Structure 1
Amino acid sequence: METLANLESFVRSAELGSFSEAARRLALTPAAVSRNVAMLERNLGVRLFQRSTRKLTLTEAGEAFRLAIAGSLDDIQAAIAGIASDSGEPAGVLKVSMAPTFGIMHILPMLPGFITRYPHIRPEWHFENRQVDIVAEGYDAAIGGGFDLSPGIVARTLAPAHIVAVASPAYMSGRVAPPDPAALAAFDGIVMRSLQTGRIRHWTMRDAAGVERAATLSEDIVVNDPAAMREAARLGLGVALLAVPDVLPDLESGALVRLVSRWYADAGAISVYYVSRTLLPGKTRAFVDWIAEAFKRDRLAERFAGSLGT
């Protein structure tokens, strides 16, 4: 009977194409992973990988074996991870990725309640402006929008991701409010260059009736982070198009005002993403359900909806 360590080392090495990367994921040394795979090959009597100094490639037998056991291994690992602690509660390290501004502003305040409810779960939360590879990078979940739903990844929608036009009261002092999105082009624009594409993102806005208008801001100030856009707008440097969650506290406090309030751009949905498994680890299920309930309790979907602006 093969050990779980041998099978895990094989599957992770096959997924990541490297003993070193598999070792990092499994918290082992590369030598230990290589040894586990070699033992598995010896016990099976077949070569599973073609090895070179640059690349690790599955043999035909290796690919067939990977396909045969991958799903079963995931279920076994999920069952192990889902075993309750001595107190009967979900336990383990919970690795989650989320955008810095959104995560710190809206998700982090939920952490005290989550820890109180699940004291045996240890959060490891990463605040980063990128879309992580949930499987390859070993995340339990990610919160954001626009993630690629590759095989095995599912999304649970939390709220709409709506973009609205904002500026500071000081900037708008003495200026005539724009009547529609097209008129935003006459103001100083604060725009963002995408880290992924290197391009400046422009939006098309719509109203409640479904009428669409281009909202093309001038490129007077260019940054690469939404938090910097928000701060530039707060400083009275111009108009910015930002996600409602990123500016909601400023809109509620009056530090920013919403322009063309009947109009918004639809950037999709804010969702929690996680790996679909027959037996989802207890810590992941607890987190996904907790976040969904918190969004419902605090009416965040309604508060984030730019379509409800006045």
Structure 2
Amino acid sequence: METLANLEAFVRSAECGSFSEAARRLSLTPAAVSRNVATLERNLGVRLFYRSTRKLSLTEAGEGFRQAVAGNLEGLQAAIAGLSADGGEPVGTLKVSLPPTFGMSHVLPLLPGFLARHPRVRPEWHFENRQVDLVAEGYDAAIGGGFALSPGIVARTLAPAHIIAVASPAYMRGRVPPSDPVGLEAFDGIVMRSLQTGRIRHWTMRDVVGGEMAAEQLESVVVNDPSAMREAALLGLGVALVAVPDVRADLDGGDLVRLLPRWYADAGAISLYFASRAHLPAKTRAFVDWVVEAFKTERLAERFAGSLG
């Protein structure tokens, strides 16, 4: 009897017309998909695909076999996934991508409780400042902002991504705080150069009643990482425009002060990304539910809202 992996490799390759694209959808290597299809052909004793360096097409036997198994395959996948999601204990490696500062400060502390509830889950968490491809790179979930929602991926909003102006009390000692974003030009600016574009990131800030104004900053200190901006601000090197979650603890502890408390920049949303399957693996569903509930219980969306002053 054929394995589900061999059948799935065949059906996805037929749909995509490419082992490489099928591999991306299945989170496998092209070699693994090709090997599974070859095993299926050998076991059936028929050739299912015509192969060339540029094209993959079904033989007559392959087309007939695809029509026979495609619908049944979807049913088998749904049944297996449903059993795992509804009745099975969450188990296996949970691969998640998170921004370093946000992940370590606000998501990593949720891990002990999660593992106490689900001890058979093994976390593999990658702390990185980039937008991963969940399917191609084999991630179960990712947390961040601005991810491209490719087919099959959904985003669950966790909190706003608001940018505010901060500085250390030592830096502000003897200085008059600015009254509006243009006034930031009078202070040393801690700014970030985008790894993607190579340009300095500039912000337009808005106030609580809807007014907008460009934030003018000197490029006194240039870094390429949000964590470095925070550290530079803590060292008293100037004023940084950073995401609220990255400095929430520093503001609460008095190590940083917020300037322009009525002004903030809107960078979108902090979201939890995962595959939009009808039945998620139990480990992924448990993680999604755990994070969403924690954000709700701890009212993190409100704590991260720069619009609340």
TM-score band by shorter chain is 0.7 to 0.9
Q: What residue is the counterpart of 1:50 in the other structure?
A: 51
Partner Cα distance (1:199, 1:63) in 2: 51
- In the TM superposition, what is the alpha-carbon distance from 1:10 to its structure 2 partner? 4.2
For residues 292 and 66 of structure 1, do their structure 2 counterparts lie closer, same or farther at Cα, with a shift above 3 Å needed?
farther
Q: Counterparts in 2 of 1:171-250, with a 5 A limit?
A: 171-250=171-250
Contact 1:262 1:307 in 2 (8 A): yes
Across the aligned residues of Structure 1 and Structure 2, the Cα RMSD in angstroms comes to: 3.2
The one-letter amino acid paired with 2:37 is V
Q: What residue is the counterpart of 1:285 in the other structure?
A: 285
Runs of 4+ in 1 over 6 A off after TM superposition: 60-72
The percent identity for this pair of structures is 70
Q: Structure 2: which 5+ residue stretches go unaligned?
A: none
Q: What residue is the counterpart of 1:303 in the other structure?
A: 303
Q: Counterparts in 2 of 1:1-310, with a 5 A limit?
A: 2-10=2-10, 17-18=19-20, 25-26=27-28, 30=31, 33-41=33-41, 43=44, 45-48=46-49, 50-52=51-53, 57-59=55-57, 76-77=76-77, 79-80=79-80, 83-84=83-84, 88-309=88-309
Contact 1:168 1:236 in 2 (8 A): yes
For residues 112 and 44 of structure 1, do their structure 2 counterparts lie closer, same or farther at Cα, with a shift above 3 Å needed?
same
Contact 1:102 1:246 in 2 (8 A): yes
- In the TM superposition, what is the alpha-carbon distance from 1:133 to its structure 2 partner? 0.2
The one-letter amino acid paired with 2:92 is G
- In the TM superposition, what is the alpha-carbon distance from 1:3 to its structure 2 partner? 2.5
For residues 63 and 159 of structure 1, do their structure 2 counterparts lie closer, same or farther at Cα, with a shift above 3 Å needed?
farther
- In the TM superposition, what is the alpha-carbon distance from 1:208 to its structure 2 partner? 1.0
- In the TM superposition, what is the alpha-carbon distance from 1:122 to its structure 2 partner? 1.4
Partner Cα distance (1:139, 1:170) in 2: 42
For residues 283 and 126 of structure 1, do their structure 2 counterparts lie closer, same or farther at Cα, with a shift above 3 Å needed?
same
Contact 1:75 1:278 in 2 (8 A): no
SS in structure 2 opposite 1:269?
A: strand
SS in structure 1 opposite 2:135?
A: coil
Q: Structure 1: which 5+ residue stretches go unaligned?
A: none
Partner Cα distance (1:210, 1:216) in 2: 19
The one-letter amino acid paired with 2:252 is E
For residues 132 and 12 of structure 1, do their structure 2 counterparts lie closer, same or farther at Cα, with a shift above 3 Å needed?
farther
Partner Cα distance (2:190, 2:63) in 1: 50
